[in-house]
Amino acid sequence: MAGMATSIWFWVVFNGLVLIMLALDLGVFHRRAHEVRLREAAIWSTVWVTLALVLNVVIYFMAGREPALQYLTGYLIEKSLSVDNLFVFIPIFSYFGVPAQLQHRVLYWGILDALVMRGLFIAMGVYLIEQFDWVMYVFGALLLITGARMILRDEEPFDADTNRVVRLARRLLPIEPRYHGSKFFVKIDGRHFVTPLFLTLILVEISDILFAVDSIPAIFAVTRDPFIVYTANVMAILGLRAMYFLLAGVLPRFHKLRYGLAFILMFVGVKMLVEDVLHVPIALSLGVIAVALAGTMVWSLRTEPPEELEELEDDLESTIKNTKT
């Protein structure tokens, strides 16, 4: 497997294909701003998941069963944890009233920046693990704490008036309160302003950075191979936009999912802490994660969501259907 981690050609080919897909996405299929409807979101979700599984097959034939299982487990971890991002993206879009046809643009640039930031985080994580063995224990403890906080946290609606990032942006940046099509910046009477679309983008990017602090250490519990860590992250993130438009209207129904995600974080945290004395097979880890996700999804569907989540779902329906700029 060392060859897959070190061969420059794996990195060049993979990143080249990613850039081609991103260019097709924005330059061809979404060149003009439009509302992403359910059918389009379903098609793109299928495309990204299929590409992720094709890569899994490629890894299997080139490196063997164990690396392929590591990739699949890492992809499932990153994909499931990325759903928690959606619980943040949705109220942000709803609060700022981002028109449906502009939401894809925000997510596109937000996820593009997220790919760069996660690449840097992964490189930093690999370096720290190679230099200091005890870093894995730090990552494990961090995941345990994060999982516990996820279970105990109260669900509070997003409020820009109390959000520190928004308050700082409003203090430092000249903000034009109106939308100007798909523009992040606009010039009025000789002065440059940022639009609410840019403010939304800032919040989306910062939220992803915060989530990356959890998700990237989690995948290091599965593998330390930089190529697998990177590709699993990238493939999960690339499908996040389509998943948002596919699930946004029904996501509040999966109100118990955070307990499954918290369990996954705590499971991989424990796995990191006991790895020296107890090795958990990768196939078992994959099964535990899959059961945790499936179980909490079924639990969510069999119980009524809290009143505040029902109100959020109503807000989402009106936000998604809004096509006015």
* pLDDT tens per residue across span 194-207: 888 888 888 888 88
* CA 73 – CA 51 distance, rounded (Å): 16
Asked if pLDDT for residue 312 goes beyond 60, the answer is no
pLDDT tens digit sequence for 214-267: 778 888 888 888 889 999 999 988 888 778 777 766 666 777 888 888 898 899
| Closest CA relative to residue 85, chosen from 209, 171, 219, 232 | 209
Asked if pLDDT for residue 154 goes beyond 80, the answer is no
Question: What is the predicted pLDDT for the residue at 73?
Answer: 92
- What's the average model confidence in pLDDT over 170-195? 85
Asked if pLDDT for residue 179 goes beyond 70, the answer is yes
- Asked which of 10-14, 83-87, 224-228, 236-240 is least confident by mean pLDDT, the reply is 83-87
Residue with the larger pLDDT of the pair 292 and 10: 292
- The pTM score is 0.81
* pLDDT-based confidence at residue 6 (cuts at 50, 70, 90): low
Question: What is the predicted pLDDT for the residue at 28?
Answer: 59
Question: What is the predicted pLDDT for the residue at 31?
Answer: 57
- What's the average model confidence in pLDDT over 24-52? 74
Residue with the larger pLDDT of the pair 294 and 1: 294
Asked if pLDDT for residue 301 goes beyond 70, the answer is yes
Residue with the larger pLDDT of the pair 77 and 312: 77
